Amino acid sequence: MVAGPLATTVGPLALQNPVLAASGTFGYGDAFGSFFPLDILGGFVTKTLFAAPRDGNPAPRIVETSAGMLNSIGLANVGWGAFVRDKAPAVNAARGSARLIVNIAGNAPEEYQALAAAVEADRAAAGCDAIEVNVSCPNVREGGTHIGCDLTAFRAVVRGVRAETTLPVFVKLSPNVADVVPFAACAADEGADGVSLINTLYGMRIDTRTGRPVLGTGSGGLSGPAILPVGIHWVYRVRAALPDLPILAIGGIVTWRDALEYLMAGAQAIQVGTAAFVNPHAAPEILAGLARYCATRGTTIAALSGAAHRSAPGAGQPAEPPVWTG
């Protein structure tokens, strides 16, 4: 049982506080132990795990941008079996009440389903509290279209994962679509317990000395402060359209005020990603800032979630987005 002003629930998942570490930026929960104790976080999400290990993409795999970074890691990971055997025991010994969310993916909907079945079978050994489903992967059997951008494949993935597990399931949405809301609605329809948003945005940089893209794969995923307003936009829109669907918000959070914006936009909890590469103490500092804010204002995280929908001009949530730009 978790209680107090910082406690929050994301659907069936109770958290001691709303600050989690985002997938791919925190190893398997084992990467930041020399900076702060794992057990102070609300939780953390593992690097995306496939059933089998993967090497990932050719180098260079990261490049800085003026307000963030591009990565094309290519979902390099140790594979599910090695995670359970080699990583989970130490992480579970260190995490206290912080929640362990395993992020999973596959090359086709059937691979996701099979891995979800393995997670369910190993859930005690893995010690995991929930699954986050990364749909930002190519559907290899269908010619490589991104699953997170194709509603048919997306539905098949969520349905398959849901069929195999009673763990809480959060589907991590891609922002690389015209409208994120139908994907969130589909996740809810298929029985997901909530959504995580956003993953990275497509981007590219060119090396002007060679005239070639900097990244080994050409394009990559943009993260960091540049994407904060994009994430807030989609969290707000998803909360407006689907007020009962729990949201884990991600994208460009650097300060506790950024986190507060996401909570007010409609999230129940937030994840910190790229900021940790600049400041390894980012997550605990964000947590301390939120704690001070709640204490000073005499409020709670639960009360703050969705505040922008209740107090903003335009509260009452227009069914259609207005015209914003010139």
Asked if residue 155 lies in contact with residue 190, where contact means CB atoms within 8 angstroms, the answer is yes
Q: How far is CA 252 from CA 144, 206, 212, 223, 229, in A?
A: 28, 23, 27, 6, 8
Integer Cα distance of 237 and 274 in angstroms: 23
Binding status of residue 23 toward ligand FMN by CB under 6 A: yes
Per DSSP, the three-state class of 197 is strand
Instruction: Give the interface segment with ligand FMN, choosing from 69-77, 111-119, 149-157, 281-289 (CB under 6 A).
Output: 69-77
Q: Which amino acid is at 297?
A: R
Query: Cβ contacts of residue 320 below 8 Å, gap of 6+?
Result: none
Binding status of residue 43 toward ligand FMN by CB under 6 A: no
Closest separation between CB of residue 103 and ligand FMN, Å? 5
Instruction: Give the interface segment with ligand FMN, choosing from 16-24, 83-91, 155-163, 174-182 (CB under 6 A).
Output: 16-24
Instruction: Give the interface segment with ligand FMN, choosing from 51-59, 84-92, 113-121, 267-275 (CB under 6 A).
Output: 267-275
Residues 179-208 contacting ligand FMN, CB under 6 A: 199-200
Residues 113-152 contacting ligand FMN, CB under 6 A: 134
Integer Cα distance of 155 and 255 in angstroms: 34
Binding status of residue 73 toward ligand FMN by CB under 6 A: yes
Q: Closest-CB residue for ligand FMN?
A: 24
149 flagged as catalytic:
no
- Catalytic-labelled residue, pool 137, 149, 186, 294: 137
Among 108, 156, 227, 238, binds ligand FMN (CB under 6 A): 227
Among 157, 192, 253, 270, binds ligand FMN (CB under 6 A): 253
Integer Cα distance of 248 and 269 in angstroms: 5
Q: Sheet of 62-65: strands edge to edge?
A: 62-65, 68-71, 219-223, 201-204
Integer Cα distance of 135 and 122 in angstroms: 22
Binding status of residue 29 toward ligand FMN by CB under 6 A: no
Query: What is the binding site for ligand FMN (CB under 6 A)?
Result: 22-25, 47-48, 69, 71, 73, 75, 103, 134, 172, 199-200, 223-224, 227, 250-253, 272-275
* Active-site residue set: 137
